[in-house]
Amino acid sequence: MLEILSEKFQSFIKKLRSHGKLSEKDVEEHLKELRIALLEADVNFKVTKEFIAGIQQKAVGKNILESLTSEQQVIKIVYDELINYLGGENVKLKTTGPPPVRIMLVGLQGTGKTTTAAKLAVILRKKGHNPALVSTDIYRPAAKKQLEILAKQVQVPYFSFEEKPLDIALHSISESRRLGNDILIIDTAGRLHIDEDLMNELKEIKQKIQPEEILFIADAMMGQDAVKSAGVFNEALDVTGIILTKMDGDAKGGAALSIKYTTGKPIKFITTGEKLDCIEPFFPDRLASRILGMGDMISLIEKAESSFTEKQAEEMQKKIMKNDFTLEDFKSYIQQMKNMGPLENLVSMIPGMGNTNMQIDEKQLKKTEAIIDSMTRKERLYPKIIEGSRKKRIASGSGTMVNEVNILLKQFFSAQKMMQQMQKGVLGKSLKRLKLFPF
């Protein structure tokens, strides 16, 4: 997620730290490089210009550059500016009011709007709400059927009426009241491009149903095109917030850094994968930390809390402390980590690992499990005995090559070592105290 943007910022920070005490010239030179890097990461030109100017103005002050920790203070300035441009603070969804609270989703076709409607229902159910779904898209073939299928998957009511878009919305409000749904998520029609008919339809629906939220669904991978579309929809409808979709596939990150600043509207959620539970509230400070390679332990702990039971965490912790972490445990651990979401995203949440060369191919994990399954119990418990002929037999049994068995063993021993080191460190102690993560 935001790989290119993260690389640019982390390279900038690395250069700052290499100087120790900074001069005004040092700051200016590195900021020039950062300016070019941000433009390459598809950050809006105006945003880039003002972002760099803001850092420079604060960083060249006499008190900063004369400090013995000037590089740390400049990094803090960059961090604070990032948070500011990303929105400053988490802005919660409005979920209170006379039922049903109406949440209207708008945006272009292909941005993930319909899937996001179902994902939003998932996260609202987890918070104790009773949402319902409806589609007013009578134009795109199978649009209503798609949402109906998703509604069944997430186990929430879906309303279907063969009427005009506005009438569908109005009848769904009445049906929500009858059934006791406290929130109604309305998936509206999109287009491949913005046109007058679409906007007039959306304006009419807004005027008649008076939604508490109008959320613009922006495909993060569209970069500045997403930012421009958000501006047009906001001007026409005065949207209340933004959901950035496909953040797991967005390498550049230009939209994330530009969209709040250019529209003035907060990012309320991001989606980070194809699964229907891959949606999370947006916290500017957490994303800023991940962009700068500082990790995001709060989000990691929250994901771990929902994936690992306390008993599982305690058992794993005991094994690691006793140096008794086996390949069987490794397989079980991988399966639990997969439940927490895309593994590349999890790695970026660990402080210091946001810009590593660690490559995690989730398809490769199936091969990893096959290799472990092809081992004898003794080999899984004592992997150091696996040599020569054993590797050939395991490779043959799992349909892999000997070098792939070697890679797995190397990864296992590295993971074993890293876990022991983390368990001994401050990070491990804090997580162990919380009993939410098996270190």
DSSP line for 237-270: H--SEEEEE-GGG-SS-HHHHHHHHHH---EEEE
Coil, strand or helix: which one is 182? coil
Residue 275: HSE in the Cβ half-sphere, 13 Å Cα cutoff: 9
pLDDT of residue 358 exceeding 60, the answer is no
Tokens at 154, concatenated: 């997430």
pLDDT band at 210 (very low <50, low <70, confident <90, very high): very high
Q: CA–CA separation, 337 vs 343, rounded Å? A: 7
pLDDT (mean) for 119-133: 95
Q: What percent of the chain has pLDDT over 90?
A: 40
Could you tell me if 299 and 286 are in contact, meaning their C-beta atoms sit under 8 angstroms apart?
Answer: yes
Is residue 321 scored above 90 in pLDDT? Answer: no
Task: Give the model's confidence band at 146: pLDDT under 50 very low, under 70 low, under 90 confident, else very high.
Answer: very high
Q: How many CB atoms lie within 10 A of CB 418?
A: 13
Mean pLDDT of 368-390: 91
> Which is higher by pLDDT, 288 or 141?
288
Q: Above 90 in pLDDT, residue 393? A: yes
Average pLDDT (367-384) is 90
* pLDDT at res. 178: 94
Q: In the CATH hierarchy, which top-level class contains the domain 297-434?
A: mainly alpha
State mean pLDDT over 192-217. Answer: 92
Q: How much is the mean pLDDT over the chain?
A: 81
pLDDT tens-digit profile of 16-32?
Answer: 777 667 777 888 888 88
191 pLDDT more than 90? no
Q: Using 50, 70 and 90 to split pLDDT, how confident is the model at 334?
A: low
- Whether the pLDDT of residue 396 is over 80: the answer is yes
Q: For residues 299-316, give the mean pLDDT.
A: 58
Res. 250 pLDDT band, cuts 50 70 90: low
58, 77 in Cβ contact below 8 A?
yes
pLDDT at 187 over 90: yes
Q: Give the pLDDT score at 57.
A: 86
Q: How confident is the model at residue 353 (pLDDT cuts 50, 70, 90)?
A: very low
Q: Please report the beta strands in 195-323, taking only residues with DSSP state E, as ranges in sequence order.
A: 213-219, 241-245, 267-271, 279-281
Q: What is the pLDDT of residue 330?
A: 76
> Per-residue pLDDT for 434 more than 70?
no
- What pLDDT sits at residue 299? 52
Of 56-60, 110-114, 210-214, 398-402, the one with minimum mean pLDDT is 56-60
Please say if the pLDDT value at position 430 is more than 50. no
Domain boundaries, the chain: 3-86, 101-291, 297-434
**Is 195 strand, coil or helix?**
coil
Please give the CATH architecture assigned to the domain spanning 3-86: Up-down Bundle (1.20)
Alpha-carbon torsion angle 159, 160, 165, 170, nearest 10: -40
pLDDT at 147: 95
The answer to whether domain 101-291 and domain 297-434 are alike in fold is no
What is the per-residue pLDDT for 351? 47
Superfamily of domain 101-291: P-loop containing nucleotide triphosphate hydrolases (3.40.50.300)
Q: Which band of pLDDT confidence, cut at 50, 70 and 90, is reported for residue 164? A: very high
Q: Tell me, what's the pLDDT at 294?
A: 65
Higher pLDDT, 230 or 328: 230
pLDDT tens for 251-273 read 577 888 889 989 999 999 999 88
Nearest-angstrom CA–CA distance, 45 and 228: 13
Q: pTM of this prediction?
A: 0.69
H/E run at residue 107: none
